[in-house]
Amino acid sequence: MDVHEIARQDIDVAPGAEAWETIRGGYDLQLHVAPDVIPRRVDDIDVAREFLEAGLAGFVLKSHYFMTAERASVVSKAVPGIAAYGALTLNHSMGGLNPVAVDLAGRAGARLVWMPTCDALNETAGRSSTTTNLPAWAEFQRKLEAKGVLPPPLTVLDEDGRLNRATLQCLELIAEHDMVLCTGHLGREEIFPLVKAAKDAGVIRVIVTHAEFPSQDLSAGEQVELADMGAVIEHCFTTTYTGKAPWHTLFANVAAVGAERSLLSTDLGQRTNPPVSLGLASYAQRFLDAGFSAKDVHTMVVENPSRLVSRRGGDT
């Protein structure tokens, strides 16, 4: 089925022709698809075909549990015309804040490195037995904890409140391999010193991950401050689409930071949410309806992510 036709049955705000055209050539730097230990709506190959049909250029394969560079290289070969990029998330399954994992991921061609997400000390979803309507990864955390195999949560700070040695080593390796640092589910007291240290370590590209997500919930002022430090501020469709943050707050934050320092990703792939490309187009439509220009949306979906995944010298 044509991705443009799915809109009537799978999304609340159907994108129009302008929205689809605005994201043409765009990238989604955060999506969650199969194969995964959590059931997903679509797999690597089919989402690549979906992107190709929609006129999109590529995406980053995110997993909370595994390094995805090998998967990405297979997808790029299997679906010519789509650039798939691998990534690493520094959760317990990868050894936590593990410099060896970062070095090997860099050697394998991974482009993005997320700091801890579901295993971050700051991320409390699923840790209360009374919490309901959890993300799939939080339910999975509960299962691991019930088995008694889940180590203590991770933080990038030591007992004195400074970045710990393992984190600093990871930053050095991210810089060495010209990868993109993403802040994951860390809290504001971790994000600010991390972004500063990343710059000091020579990391060129930094993304503040889904700034409106409840465990981050960064104010407009905080987002501006981080952007002034050189970070690009990411805003994910699922955060507002699933009601975790209000749309008016998102739009106000992006307006404060500016499109030139903002990034739109979907964070999609879940079975209960819309197709990824459709979600991205609907996201674009939301911004157009809110008064953002087509140029603003194009900057946040096409130009900024393209620059972030590019390597030194401009090769993507």
Q: 146 in a domain, yes or no? A: yes
Q: 281 in a domain, yes or no? A: yes
Residues of the chain under the 50 pLDDT cut = 1, 3-4, 6-8
Residue 96: give its domain's CATH number: 3.20.20.140
Q: Which of 194, 204, 210 is nearest to 174 (CA)?
A: 204
pTM (predicted TM-score): 0.95
Give the number of domains in the chain. 1
Confidence at residue 27, expressed as pLDDT on a 0 to 100 scale: 98
Domain range for 8 is: 3-309
Q: Per residue in 110-157, pLDDT tens? A: 999 999 999 999 998 867 655 667 788 888 888 888 899 999 999 999
Q: Per residue in 81-101, pLDDT tens? A: 999 999 999 999 999 999 999
Confidence at residue 1, expressed as pLDDT on a 0 to 100 scale: 39
- CA 97 from chain centre, in angstroms, equals 18
162 in Cβ contact with 193 (< 8 Å): yes
Q: 300 in a domain, yes or no? A: yes
Q: 315 in a domain, yes or no? A: no
Q: How far is CA 113 from CA 80, 172, 296, 303, in A?
A: 25, 12, 26, 20
Confidence at residue 256, expressed as pLDDT on a 0 to 100 scale: 98
Q: 314 in a domain, yes or no? A: no
Confidence at residue 134, expressed as pLDDT on a 0 to 100 scale: 77
Q: 56 in a domain, yes or no? A: yes
Q: 316 in a domain, yes or no? A: no
Q: 219 in a domain, yes or no? A: yes
